[in-house]
Amino acid sequence: MKLIIPAILMLLTAQISFAQPTESIKTSTKNTPEQQEIINISKQKWDWMADKNVDSLNVLFDDKSMFIHMGGSWGKTQELATIKSGGIWYKKAQVYEVIVNMFGNTAILLNDIDLVAQVGGNEVTNPFMVTEVYIKVNDKWKMGSLTFSHLMRPVKLGK
């Protein structure tokens, strides 16, 4: 009995780990030109995804790029096929905050977004922290990874 009460208390106070927007994720007003370039590329990428422009995305995505979704992860070929077929249609990404950190020829961008997407014929809106990793190859930025982490905050879009 002595062990049961502490165990129950521990379970009641345990927190489930989910991605949360933090106070450190703010859009900087003092981005370097290189950081702003990455922000612009990211914005263009969301437009291309909404327009299902797989030709432009094919150039942006590195051949070894990986895409991590709530339902699985896969490489460039499957991501482009999924976009082209409409398996996932990224209709609109409402970006609230963005930050870019540079590490030599690597840029990591974080977007706090609400994503309106059509998945399997159903329209859904989800809050995500999206991590985008870009690498500079032959003086051109290529996307190496795109990860969607579902946020616990409510959807802000339309409020």
Chain segment 67-118, per-residue pLDDT in tens: 999 878 999 999 999 999 999 999 999 999 999 999 999 999 999 999 999 9
Q: What is the mean pLDDT of residues 150-158?
A: 90
Helix (H), strand (E) at residue 133: strand 122-137
Whole-angstrom CA distances from 114 to 48, 72, 144 are 17, 19, 22
For residue 37 the two structure tokens come to 């370039």
| CA contacts within 13 A on the Cβ side of 87 | 10
Whole-angstrom CA distances from 8 to 15, 18, 59 are 13, 22, 53
Architecture of the domain spanning 33-150: Roll (3.10)
24 vs 85, more confident? 85
> Under 8 Å CB-to-CB from 100, ≥6 apart: which residues?
28, 31, 35, 38, 39, 107, 108, 109, 110
Per-residue confidence (pLDDT) for residue 159, from 0 to 100: 61
How far apart are the C-alpha atoms of 79 and 124, rounded to whole Å? 19
